[in-house]
Amino acid sequence: MKVLLVSNFEGGYQPMTVATALTALLHADFDVSVLDTYVEGIDEGRFLDQELIAISIPLFDAVQAATELTQIIRQVNPKAHITYFGQHATINASRLAGKYSDSCVCGEWERPLVNLAKYLSGDTDCTLDGVLIGRDALQGKEIHPYMSRDHLSVPTRHMLPPLYKYPQKQINKLLGSEQIVGSTEIARGCHHKCLYCSVYAAYEGKVILVSESIVLQDVRNLVEGGMTHLSFIDADFFNAKYHGIKILRQLHEDFPDLTYDFTTRVDHILENKETLAEMKGLGVKFITSALEFPSEVVLDAVAKDTSIQDIEQAIAYLRHIEISLNPTFIMFNPWTNTEDLTTFRSFVDDNDLKSIIDPIQYETRLYLYKGSPLLRQASIQTLDLIEHEFYYEWKHPNPDMDELFQEIVTVPEDGIFKRCCLKC
């Protein structure tokens, strides 16, 4: 069977979701190829003669693009079985399977993709755990996401576009020089349950650790591909307290000039001060942290379990140990008002953040994707909501806030909207 794995957007990084699926399918002896439309464009000839086309949608940015791409594929190759996989395939499975795709993978994708390919090859006894078939979805059937803890292998990178095709402007800015950036993960899922987060929506607080040996070999392969800086794209690097520091110690020994960044919460910064101080010496250059908005009302509304005082202490500590902070915000949300924007400016000035904030962070708006735990909250249900296929457009109780947002919002040159982590 000929299988094509397609990525259209994975945060501007080389698509790791596709890399791990590629490994599983190659190990099962399928004829697999890869297309990343983000850097290669839509090459319709690549869709010809493919029997299974699996499109990765790990981020909400990729959902609409995937459905549009599917329409092109249907015209070029109407016989192909099209499936979706990745985090937002899990969240949107019932909205995708049957309408856009022939099936949709829910949960972890490596084994279900292999089993789907086997099934389509004629192995009708093959189990399809984690695969929602389109005809079943149209009848209202739901399935449990496939979750496993022993299915991961080293991602296959050599068949993907080279790393230099994925420049990261904000990383270059924070490090003060041009970098060849790679990405990997030490875990999937997240223990925390921030209500806006799609990781929580997809994993419901579960965490699947990636073994140390897999991570180390993946990084070796990335270095061979020219990588000079590594982003750990975990939702939270401290999901397992000692897992990350053990890996960093070994990586620093193997590649003393390699630098790193990762994402973590404010409370973990305060809980792991000694570890972070050691990480500074191991090459960690900056940490991304979702500060949301300096308002106790907002922090409580999204169940952040932190405070403004915690945020300011974390900022001060990172500055003390000389690890840069890459803060992200939800600037426009239903719980703030015009006077809060003045407070925000004071917060930025008081904490000396102006020079390091990615300008796009001043334009971020709460995204109410379907499946978001926030939709169960009374403060959201009372809003004026306009339903779209995969999300709800919300109106602020104060129309002035929406007018202000429309006045300032722009589309970044590279089309990338930064957010708390590369799993959203």
260-314 pLDDT, tens per residue? 999 999 999 999 999 999 999 999 999 999 999 999 999 999 999 999 999 999 9
Which pair of structure tokens corresponds to residue 102?
């022939």
Q: Which uninterrupted H or E stretch holds 311? A: helix 308-321
d(CA 162, CA 70): 25
pTM: 0.94
pLDDT of residue 415: 43
d(CA 106, CA 47): 24
Q: Cα–Cα–Cα angle for 116, 117, 121, nearest 5°?
A: 115
CATH number of 163-408: 3.20.20.70
CA-closest candidate to residue 21, choices 116, 126, 98, 135: 116
pLDDT of residue 349: 94
SS3 content of the chain, % helix, strand, coil (to 5): 40, 20, 40
Buried/exposed code over 147-175 (b: 16+ C-beta within 10 A; e: otherwise): beeebbbbbbbeebbebeebebebbeebb
CA gyration radius for the chain?
Answer: 21
pLDDT of residue 417: 44
pLDDT of residue 363: 85
pLDDT of residue 418: 46
Which pair of structure tokens corresponds to residue 68?
């549009």
Q: What one-character DSSP code corresponds to residue 86?
A: S
Q: Which residues of the chain have pLDDT under 50?
A: 415-418
Domain edges within the chain: 2-138, 163-408
pLDDT of residue 413: 55
Residue 106, CB-side half-sphere exposure with 13 Å CA sphere: 23
Q: Is residue 291 helix, strand or coil?
A: strand
Under CATH, domain 2-138 is a member of which superfamily?
Cobalamin-binding domain (3.40.50.280)
